[in-house]
Amino acid sequence: MSELNIEIQRRRTFAIISHPDAGKTTLTEKLLLFGGAIHVAGAVKSNKIRKTATSDWMEIEKQRGISVATSVMGFDYQDYKINILDTPGHQDFAEDTYRTLTAVDSVIIVVDIAKGVEAQTRKLMEVCRMRKTPVMIFVNKMDRDGIDPFDLLDELEQELHIHVRPLSWPIEMGAKFKGVYNIYEKKLDLYTPSKQTITESIQFKDVNNPELEKHIGDKEAKQLRADLDLIEGVYSDVPSHPMLDTGYPEQSQRIADKSINDSLLEKYLAGDLAPVFFGSALNNFGVKELLDCFVRIAPFPRPVQTEEKLVNPEEDPFSGFVFKIHANMDPNHRSCIAFLKICSGKFERNTNYKHVRFDKWMKFTSATAFMAQKKETVDEAYAGDIIGLPDTGNFKIGDTVTAGENLHFKGLPNFSPEMFKYIENADPLKSKQLNKGIDQLTDEGVAQLFTNQYNGRKIIGTVGQLQFEVIQYRLLHEYGAQCKWESLHLYKACWIESDSPEALENFKKRKYQYMALDKEGRDVFLADSAYVLQMAQQDFKEIRFHFSSEF
C-alpha cells in the first residue's frame, strides 16, 4: 500500500451536530482531551470560570455561551488522524452547518436524553440523508432524568428516519445512574458521580454470570439482562439495503474483531443505520468508548462528485474545494482564512496550484492546520484534511484548487434568506471600514448581500435574527464600524434566469423596484409576499425562479 493510501485511510473527518445545549461543544472538548490536543476543558456556560470552550473562540461566543461559527480541530489519536468540525447548533446559523456537512465523511449527532429529538436535529439529519452521510448518535446527559431509553430509540427512528442499533446500554439514569454496558466491547463501565469519570471498566462477555449482581445490584442486573435480550431481538436484524458503491471493501476487512458484524457495518457506512452510545459528556463518561468505536468503523475520506467526474481520494493529483471563509481569526490582523477540504492527493507547501475560477496559478507558502483559532503552518496534508489558506479576496465559497485539472465541486449552495434588513452606515467617517467589513463578513456565507437596483441600497439577508446581532457586533469590534438596521418586509429572494434575453429584460423592467443584484452580479427578484411570487411565476412562464444559488 502506498504512503498516500496509508495516510488517507488513517483519516477521520467528521462533524458534531445537534440542537443548541445538547452538549455538542462539551463533547468536542472531551474528545480533544483524549487526543491530548488540550489539557483542560473550558467551562462553556459558567460565568464564574473565565475559561471558555476551546472551540468557541470568538468574543461573542464567549459572551453568549453558544457556537456561532464552525470550528476545525485536528489531532492524532492512536493510529488515526482526526479532524473534528464543531458546528453551530443555533438554527440562525444553520447555513454554516449545512455547508460544513459537505466537507465531512461522517457525523456524530448529540441528543439530550431529557429533550429527545428537536427540530434543528431533524433538519440537519435531512442534509445527512440527502448526502448518504454515515451517522453515529451519542445520547448525552445520562446523569440526569430523561426519556426511557427504548422510547428514545423509537423516537430516533421515527423522527430521523434511520434505523438504530445501540452499541452501549445505560443502567438506570439520573441520580440512580450506575453506568453502561458496552455491547460493542462486551464490558461493564461503572459510573461514580463524585469522581466524574469511569472508575471501573470490567470485561464482561457473559451478562448471565452471577458476578454481575455484585457490581450493579440484583434489580439492575435483572433489568439489564432483560433489556439486552430485547435489544438483541429487536435491533439486531436491521432491514437490508444495497450498499452504495463508495469504495469501502477495505473498511470491512480492516476491522480486526467482529464486535459489529459486516452487515451492520455496511448499513452504517451506507447511511442506513446509526449506532447509538449513551453517556455524559460533562462528566467525561462514555466518551472514550464512543471515540474508540468511531475511529475503527467510521469511513475514511470518500469519493466526491464534481461536475466533470467522481474524484477518488487516492488519486495522485491534488484537488480540494473551499467550503467556508472566516474573517479575522486573528483580530490583530485583518486577515481572512479560506477553509479548504482536500478531496484527493497530497497538498505540499510552496507548490503551484491552479485556482480554477480565476484560471491562474497560485503558490501557498503559509497554509495552516487548525486547533480552533490556533494555527500552525503545514508542509503537507492529505485527502480528508482541512487546511486554511490565507485569503486576500481571492476565494469565495465553492472555489476549487487543483494540481491543474479543471474541476467544479457541487453541493455548496446559498439558500434564499428568511429575514431581510437594509444596512446603513451609523458613522459617515467610517464608510470604508463598513464596506470592507460587510464585504468580508458576507464572504463567510453566514449572511447574504443584495444591492437594490432601484435605489442602490444594501440589503442583508439571513436565516435568523441572531445573525444581524452578530454582524453588528463584529463590524464594531473587528472593523471599528458602526451600522444601523432598517426593517424591510420581504418574503423571498429568488435567483432568476431565462433562455430568452428579451423575456428576462421585460421581467426586470416590469419588476424594476423589486430587482437586486447579489455579490456575484446575478439577478435576484425580491418578492414581498407569497402571493406576489405566485403571480410572477404564473405571469412570466419563460422565467425560472430558484430558491438556492446553485442552479
CATH number, domain containing residue 166: 3.40.50.300
Per-residue burial over 533-550, b if 16 or more Cβ lie within 10 Å, else e, is beebeeebeebebbeebe
The answer as to whether 413 is a domain residue is no
Q: Do 288 and 154 belong to one domain?
A: yes
Q: Do 211 and 347 belong to one domain?
A: no
The answer as to whether 294 is a domain residue is yes
Residues 6+ apart with CB under 8 A from 392: 336
pLDDT for 112 equals: 95
Angle at which helix 149-160 crosses helix 119-130, to 10 degrees, equals: 50
Q: Do 354 and 333 belong to one domain?
A: yes
The answer as to whether 411 is a domain residue is no
Q: Do 509 and 479 belong to one domain?
A: yes
Q: Do 425 and 491 belong to one domain?
A: yes
Residue 285, strand partner residues: 280
Cα-flanking dihedrals φ and ψ of residue 395, to 5°?
Answer: -110, 150
Query: Could you give the C-alpha distances from 85 to 68, 408, 520, 535, in angstroms and in order?
Result: 13, 23, 28, 43
- Smallest CA-to-CA distance from 73 within 112, 111, 24, 120 is with 24
Q: Do 235 and 347 belong to one domain?
A: no
Cα separation, 419 vs 491, whole angstroms: 8
DSSP 415: B
The answer as to whether 494 is a domain residue is yes
The answer as to whether 17 is a domain residue is yes
The residue to which cell 488517507 is assigned: 8
* Domain termination site, one of 246, 265, 300: 300
Q: Do 381 and 452 belong to one domain?
A: no
Q: Alpha-carbon dihedral of residues 389, 393, 399, 405, nearest 10 degrees?
A: -80
Q: Do 395 and 259 belong to one domain?
A: no
Please tell me the pTM assigned to this model.
0.76
pLDDT for 273 equals: 93
| Secondary structure (3-state) at 140 | strand
Output the tens digit of pLDDT for each of the chain's 551 residues. 788 999 999 999 999 888 878 888 889 888 888 777 554 434 333 333 234 454 443 454 445 444 434 567 888 888 899 998 876 644 545 566 777 788 899 999 999 999 999 887 887 888 788 778 999 999 999 999 999 999 999 999 999 999 999 999 999 999 999 999 998 888 898 888 765 555 577 887 888 888 888 888 899 999 999 999 999 888 875 433 333 333 344 444 344 334 456 778 889 999 999 999 999 999 889 998 999 999 999 999 989 888 899 999 999 999 999 988 776 555 555 567 888 999 999 999 999 999 999 999 999 988 888 654 456 788 899 999 999 888 887 888 889 999 999 998 876 666 788 889 999 999 989 999 999 999 888 877 768 999 999 899 999 998 778 778 888 988 998 889 999 999 999 999 999 999 999 999 999 999 999 999 998 899 999 999 999 999 999 999 999 999 877 65
The answer as to whether 534 is a domain residue is yes
Q: Do 295 and 314 belong to one domain?
A: no
Domain that holds residue 165: 3-300
Q: Do 71 and 111 belong to one domain?
A: yes
Q: Do 521 and 442 belong to one domain?
A: yes
The answer as to whether 507 is a domain residue is yes
Cα separation, 25 vs 37, whole angstroms: 15
- Smallest CA-to-CA distance from 318 within 282, 284, 367 is with 367
Cα separation, 505 vs 514, whole angstroms: 14
* Domain termination site, one of 367, 402, 437: 402
Write down the H helix ranges in 110-248. Answer: 119-130, 149-160, 211-216, 218-235
The residue to which cell 492527493 is assigned: 345
* Domain termination site, one of 274, 300, 326: 300
Number of domains in the chain: 3
pLDDT for 474 equals: 84
The answer as to whether 408 is a domain residue is no
CATH number, domain containing residue 515: 3.30.70.3280
The number of beta carbons lying within 10 Å of the beta carbon of residue 175 is 9
Q: Do 199 and 267 belong to one domain?
A: yes
Q: Residue 198 has which C-alpha cell?
A: 469511569
